[in-house]
Amino acid sequence: MNAVPRILALNPNSSEHVTQSVVHAMRCAMPERMIDIVGVTCSDGPEGIVTQADFEDAGRRMAACASNGFSGTYDAAVIACFSDPGLEAVRSQCAIPVIGMGEAGMRCALRAGGRVGVVAVADAAIARHLAYWERMGVGHRVVGERALNISVAASGDHEQAFARMLAAAETLRDALHADAILLGCAGMSALRGQLESALGVPVIDPCAAAIAAALDAVNGTVQP
CATH of the domain at 30: 3.40.50.1860
State which residues form the domain around 149: 102-205
Same domain (yes/no): 84, 48: yes
Radius of gyration of the chain (CA): 16
pLDDT, tens digit, 9 for 90 and up, residues 198-209? 999 999 999 999
Please state, in angstroms and rounded to a whole number, the distance separating the CA atoms of residues 68 and 206. Answer: 26
| Residue 1 in domain | no
pLDDT of residue 61: 85
Can you give the pLDDT at residue 222? 55
Domain-embedded: residue 189 = yes
- pLDDT 10s digits, 8-51: 999 998 889 889 999 999 999 987 778 899 998 887 888 888 88
The answer on 165 and 76 residing in a single domain is no
Q: How far apart are CA 18 and CA 1, in angstroms?
A: 28
DSSP track, 36-69: EEEEEE-TTS-SS--SHHHHHHHHHHHHHHHHT-
Nearest to 212 by CA among 1, 5, 2, 3: 5
Greatest mean pLDDT among 52-56, 70-74, 219-223 lies in: 52-56
Sheet holding 180-184, edge to edge: 142-147, 116-120, 180-184, 203-204
Q: How confident is the model at residue 142 (pLDDT cuts 50, 70, 90)?
A: very high
Residue 214: alpha-carbon gap to chain centroid: 12
Task: Give phi and psi for 37, each to the nearest 5.
Answer: -105, 120
pLDDT grade, residue 179 (50/70/90)? very high
pLDDT value for 47: 82
Is the same domain home to 91 and 117?
no
Distance CA 73, CA 40 (A): 13
Q: CA-CA distance, 196 to 2, in Å (whole number)? A: 35
Residues 6+ apart with CB under 8 A from 3: none
Average pLDDT over residues 115-142: 97
Q: Are 99 and 213 in contact (CB under 8 A)?
A: yes
Asked if 210 and 98 touch (Cβ cutoff 8 Å), the reply is: no
- pTM given for the model: 0.91
CA-wise closest residue to 21 among 174, 157, 115: 157
Report yes or no on 175 lying in a domain: yes
Q: Is the pLDDT of residue 151 over 50?
A: yes
Q: How far apart are the C-alpha atoms of 206 and 112, rounded to whole Å?
A: 13
- 68-120: per-residue pLDDT in tens? 666 668 999 999 999 999 999 999 988 899 999 999 999 999 999 999 999 99
In the predicted model, is pLDDT for residue 56 greater than 60?
Answer: yes
- Whether 221 has a pLDDT exceeding 90, the answer reads no
* 93 and 19 together in one domain: yes
Higher local confidence (pLDDT), 177 or 224: 177
Q: How many domains does the chain have?
A: 2
| The predicted structure's pLDDT at residue 224 | 43
